[in-house]
Amino acid sequence: MCGICGFTGAVDGAADRATLKAMCDAMAHRGPDGEGLYVSDGIALGHRRLSLVDLAGGGQPMVRATGEFESTIATTAISFEHVRGSAAPTSDLDAGSQQHALIQGRWSIVFNGEIYNYRELRAELESLGYGFSTDSDTEVLLVGYIAWAQGVLDRVRGMFAFAIYDADSRELFCARDFFGIKPFYYTFQGGQFIFASEIKSILEHPAYERELNEQALAQYLCFQFSALDETFFKGIFKLPPGHCMRVGLRGDAQIERYWKPGYVHDESRPFAETVDAVDRAMRESVRYHNVADVEVGSFLSSGIDSSYLASCLALENPDIKTFTVGFSEYRGERDEISWARELAERLGVENDAHHISEEEFWEAFPTVQWHMDEPSADPSAVALYFVDKLAARKVKAVLSGEGADELFGGYRIYQAPFANEHVGMVPRPLLRAGSRVLRAAGKRGANYLERASERVEDWYYTNANGAAFSPAERDRLLSAELHRRLDDVPTPQQLTAPCYAEVADLDETARMQHVDLSFWLAGDILLKTDKMAMAHSLESRVPFLDREVFRIAAGVPTLQKVDERQTKLALRQAAERAIPHDWAQKEKLGFPVPLGGWLREDRYHNLVKAAFESETAGRFFDTGELVGMLERHRAGADLSRRIWIVYSFLVWYDVFFESRCKGPLTSARFDAEGQR
């Protein structure tokens, strides 16, 4: 929907207004439809708007004069609106900002996201005597907080990150949605609290001095994403999903978890009833996620998730637009685009598609790292960047299938506990010995025996298992100097242990799902979903990550989700009511990227090798280990994902710490500036 930022300790002066303006400018891509600046005694709030609901009246920051019951109110949108795609004259915007500082009110809000049930909440608030001056969900959220305080979080259905300031108590209340769909970053610097939707916005505040968090690098090598609450920038943190915080103007803060996933498996419910419940919940969620004053489109791949969503949306609006990208050379198989076009024809909906060339992929990669804020080693982020770019040409919001795998058991690794049952009677020491023998002989099956000999908590820490480095491999990879500085780095198992403890009474597959919901989904999947869409001023909506859909999924027992033969059992059956059998039962591919082959080509092999032998690489890694890994891959071993983890970090580090880019950086410009 937009980008938010702000800081405490502000005064109504030119310096703070200039800082706020710079913070907004750094994430202008999140909101090209308008900008709002509000500076009052002690607080500065900024907003970049992507308008989807109440196009005329939903500007922010929004200020409300009173919290009393009243039939008429004074709620003012403090924003400078301009037509999408055209920049407002700087002088006019500065003048507007000065005027905004004169408007005062007790309550003020900046909000990023969508409240899909805002109409029902508005009707309830009106019955309590509250009035409204806009038709926006922002005002409903603000008035809901005035009426119910933190309790508003128990009532909303949507995705959000917001900050509400109460001038009377001189306290800022901030919250992030249940699953972490929308980002919220913050730091404390010299008694000031600074927050934003993107880290690059915080970097514009003069109180923050950028510094690399080396602990984050150590964990990233094992997880392939930023796994800690503290980001790659020392002192900048992420508010965890399902958490809120209260911040006083003196810098004191309290963080509280207001929601956590709860699971009560209904073992007695027949499978057919489960399928009915899933289908009803998904169709209702798609209806809610179609609430907007602009057209909502949908991604469409070859898989079940987006196909199901697009079909449900087509029932709401037969004229929907769908969007697909693919790599035609992937494994010589039928590509995503041909599957999507065939389904689009069956549904009778429009489909725009684009084949991503290898040149486009590599050219866009530095830009992707700039938008991600932290290094992302997920190659599909680049594919997502292109499908978002394609969609943004025609719509302002799209439905996307994130969350289906974590809620309904979509990853093949969730079948591992069933496979392990075949050797369940074999003593664990014998399994470990067999694993060592197979690994020494270079035979298949070593990982299977090793996992079967351990508890799931001992070997599974996210869906990146197997693609990333083990702690021992990481230690060999790090430079000796960095290794000395990183004293007592927690293992991935230590980081995920509290998460496992929350669901100790569930079966192994359900425990794996919960860990992925808490780490993989929030740290990798949803982060790239938000950042790649916002890179093109597009809102990505995720109907699977709806509170009611989760409630249904949380009651489905594992054997109705996953067995040894198939994943997403109940979801596939539900989807067959909307899409053909071949699509509902199709194997999961995600966004398949032919990275392994590219890294064996001279052009890209040499490009990555130069980065691995660079002075920058030598600060953090044993460059001999890096080059050796690259050569083993070229000789036939598939080490592409591990190579990509390191290379992604090096490109990201150049973007943020060496060139200190202020905007998207293409590969060509990156090369021209001598950063590789």
List, as one string, the DSSP characters of 237-289. Answer: EEPPTTEEEEEETTS-EEEEE---------TTS-HHHHHHHHHHHHHHHHHHH
The band of 466, judged by pLDDT with boundaries at 50, 70 and 90, is confident
31-40, 320-329, 557-566: the lowest-pLDDT one: 320-329
Q: Are 97 and 21 in contact (CB under 8 A)?
A: yes
Cα 247 vs. chain centroid, distance in angstroms? 25
Q: Are 220 and 227 in contact (CB under 8 A)?
A: yes
pLDDT at 441: 57
Burial label for 331, CB within 10 Å (0-12, 13-18, 19+), is: exposed
Which two structure tokens, joined as six digits, stand for 471? 């702690």
Cα 179 vs. chain centroid, distance in angstroms? 9
Q: Is residue 590 part of a domain?
A: no
Same domain, 19 and 33: yes
pLDDT at 290: 94
CB atoms within 10 A of CB 123: 10
Whole-number Å distance between alpha carbons of 547 and 181: 12
Q: Are 382 and 668 in contact (CB under 8 A)?
A: no
Whole-number Å distance between alpha carbons of 352 and 325: 9
Q: Is residue 26 part of a domain?
A: yes
Same domain, 400 and 448: no
Q: Do you know the residue count of the chain?
A: 676
- Picking from 342, 311, 344, the residue whose alpha carbon sits closest to that of residue 574 is 311
Residue 417 or residue 372, greater confidence: 372
CB atoms within 10 A of CB 70: 12
Same domain, 385 and 528: yes
Which two structure tokens, joined as six digits, stand for 181? 């769909």
Q: Are 44 and 10 in contact (CB under 8 A)?
A: yes
In sequence order, what are the residues at sequence separation of 6 or more whose Cβ sits closer than 8 angstroms to the Cβ of residue 156? 115, 117, 121, 141, 144
Whole-number Å distance between alpha carbons of 548 and 555: 11
Whole-number Å distance between alpha carbons of 168 and 108: 11
Mean pLDDT over 468-485 rounds to 92
Same domain, 75 and 207: yes
Catalytic residue among 2, 174, 222, 661: 2
The band of 430, judged by pLDDT with boundaries at 50, 70 and 90, is low
Q: Give the phi and the psi of residue 373 in degrees, each rounded to 5.
A: 75, -45
CA distances to 231, 483, 534 from 479, in Å: 21, 6, 36
Select the highest-mean-pLDDT range: 16-25, 49-58, 102-111, 660-669.
16-25
- The whole-chain average pLDDT of the chain stands at 87
Same domain, 102 and 161: yes
- Picking from 517, 480, 482, 521, the residue whose alpha carbon sits closest to that of residue 502 is 517
Q: Using omega within 30 degrees of 0 as the cis cutoff, is the peptide bond preceding 61 cis?
A: yes
Q: Give the phi and the psi of residue 188 in degrees, each rounded to 5.
A: -110, 125
To the nearest 10°, report the CA torsion of 409, 412, 413, 416: 100
275-284, 342-351, 623-632: the lowest-pLDDT one: 342-351
312 is catalytic: no
The band of 589, judged by pLDDT with boundaries at 50, 70 and 90, is low
Q: Is residue 570 part of a domain?
A: yes
In the listed set 584, 610, 637, which residue is the last one of a domain according to the structure?
584
Q: Is residue 153 part of a domain?
A: yes
Question: How many folded domains does the chain comprise?
Answer: 4
- Picking from 406, 476, 477, the residue whose alpha carbon sits closest to that of residue 650 is 477
Burial label for 86, CB within 10 Å (0-12, 13-18, 19+), is: exposed
Tokens 């680049």 belong to which residue? Answer: 382
Same domain, 52 and 167: yes
Given a cut of 60, whether residue 319 has pLDDT beyond it is yes
Given a cut of 60, whether residue 91 has pLDDT beyond it is no
In the listed set 532, 553, 584, which residue is the last one of a domain according to the structure?
584
Q: How many helices (H) and strands (E) does the chain have?
A: 31, 19
Q: Is residue 326 part of a domain?
A: no
Q: Where are the alpha helices (H) located in 478-622, listed in sequence order?
A: 480-485, 492-502, 508-518, 520, 526-534, 547-554, 569-575, 581-584, 595-598, 602-612, 615-620
What is the span of the domain harbouring residue 193? Answer: 2-213+230-257
Tokens 């070593």 belong to which residue? Answer: 446
Q: Are 107 and 141 in contact (CB under 8 A)?
A: no
Same domain, 83 and 121: yes
Whole-number Å distance between alpha carbons of 3 and 579: 36
In the listed set 533, 553, 584, which residue is the last one of a domain according to the structure?
584
pLDDT at 147: 96
Residue 82 or residue 531, greater confidence: 531
CB atoms within 10 A of CB 361: 22
pLDDT at 426: 62
Read off the pLDDT of residues 435-459 as tens digits, 9 standing for 90 and up: 565 566 565 655 655 666 578 898 8
Whole-number Å distance between alpha carbons of 267 and 286: 27
Same domain, 574 and 504: no
The band of 55, judged by pLDDT with boundaries at 50, 70 and 90, is confident
Which two structure tokens, joined as six digits, stand for 613? 């032998």
Burial label for 519, CB within 10 Å (0-12, 13-18, 19+), is: buried
Same domain, 502 and 389: no
Whole-number Å distance between alpha carbons of 91 and 89: 5
Whole-number Å distance between alpha carbons of 149 and 145: 4
Given a cut of 50, whether residue 645 has pLDDT beyond it is yes
pLDDT-above-70 percentage for the chain: 85
Same domain, 181 and 68: yes
pLDDT at 667: 47
- Sign (positive/negative) of CA torsion 92, 93, 96, 101? negative
Same domain, 498 and 532: no
- Picking from 602, 608, 597, 604, the residue whose alpha carbon sits closest to that of residue 647 is 608
Mean pLDDT over 188-200 rounds to 95
Residue 173 or residue 470, greater confidence: 173
Q: Is residue 16 part of a domain?
A: yes
Q: Are 105 and 64 in contact (CB under 8 A)?
A: yes
Q: Is residue 222 part of a domain?
A: no
Q: HSE-up of 8 (CA within 13 Å, CB side)? A: 26
Q: Is residue 324 part of a domain?
A: no
Same domain, 432 and 404: no
27-36, 272-281, 455-464, 567-576: the lowest-pLDDT one: 455-464
pLDDT at 82: 31
- Picking from 166, 182, 173, the residue whose alpha carbon sits closest to that of residue 151 is 173
Mean pLDDT over 597-622 rounds to 95
Cα 44 vs. chain centroid, distance in angstroms? 26
